[in-house]
């Protein structure tokens, strides 16, 4: 996905293709710099320089680096949703266990390879955006809509709560895995997978 989702509170949404491409370059530069210098040392001026755009172009979209990181987090969620959707399209009539593998595997893949993701992911890792935005609620809501058909349940409040518990659990255990080993400790990840299977099996089977 080359643009930021419309839900992102940009100062000005890109209308023309040229403007959308400039926004993409800004967010790509932000992601790269997060990996290189971290959030505290990140600056809008450094992002503008890396993206090859005037500093005014950055401020046209974002008032500060916090808003820029929040936009990156939302773009990550969009790209993650696309990856999970594509993965599930190749599984045919998959059940919830295949859906769980897709959800967890694609998250791990992005955490290992996507620039800036280890610091921002969907907004959990650094204090970005609204304090009450609850990024895991956004993720759970997205997964409820995406996976309800695979789990054979209506996307109601009960299913949203189930997915929220699963997302919060996975988030905590994956962070543990990446504290134990730089690329994620496989034994911790497998323990997380088994725990999620046991919980979802009790609820969904």
* Nearest residue to 4 via CA among 19, 26, 24, 33: 24
Q: Cα separation of 101 and 80, whole Å?
A: 14
CATH class assigned to 17-204: mainly alpha
The pLDDT assigned to 95 comes to 83
Q: Sketch the domain layout of the chain as residue ranges.
A: 17-204
Q: Which of 44-53, 120-129, 168-177 has the lowest mean pLDDT?
A: 120-129
The pLDDT assigned to 135 comes to 86
pLDDT at 72 > cutoff 90 = yes
The pLDDT assigned to 131 comes to 46
pLDDT digits (tens, 9 = 90+) for 23-38: 999 999 999 999 999 9
Whole-structure pTM value: 0.87
Which residues, 6 or more positions from 122, have their beta carbon under 8 angstroms from its beta carbon?
A: 73, 74, 76, 77, 80, 135, 136, 138, 139
pLDDT at 3 > cutoff 50 = no
Question: Averaged over 43-58, what is the pLDDT?
Answer: 96
């Amino acid at each position: 996905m080359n643009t930021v989702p419309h839900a992102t509170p940009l100062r000005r949404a890109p209308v023309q293709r040229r403007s959308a491409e400039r926004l993409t370059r800004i967010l790509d530069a932000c992601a790269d710099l997060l990996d290189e210098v971290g959030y505290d040392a990140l600056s809008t001026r450094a992002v503008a320089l890396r993206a090859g755009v005037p500093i005014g172009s950055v401020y046209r979209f974002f008032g500060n680096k916090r808003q820029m990181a929040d936009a990156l987090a939302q773009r990550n969620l969009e790209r993650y949703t696309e990856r999970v959707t594509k993965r599930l399209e190749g599984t045919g009539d998959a059940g919830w266990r295949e859906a769980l593998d897709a959800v967890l595997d694609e998250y791990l893949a992005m955490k290992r390879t996507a620039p800036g993701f280890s610091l921002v992911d969907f907004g959990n890792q650094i204090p970005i955006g609204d304090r009450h935005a609850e990024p895991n609620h956004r993720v759970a809501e997205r997964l409820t809509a995406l996976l309800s058909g695979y789990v054979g349940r209506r996307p109601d409040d009960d299913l949203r709560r189930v997915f929220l518990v699963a997302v919060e659990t996975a988030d905590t255990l994956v962070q543990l895995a990446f504290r134990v080993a730089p690329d994620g400790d496989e034994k911790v990840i497998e323990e997380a997978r088994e725990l999620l299977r046991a919980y979802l099996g009790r609820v969904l089977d």
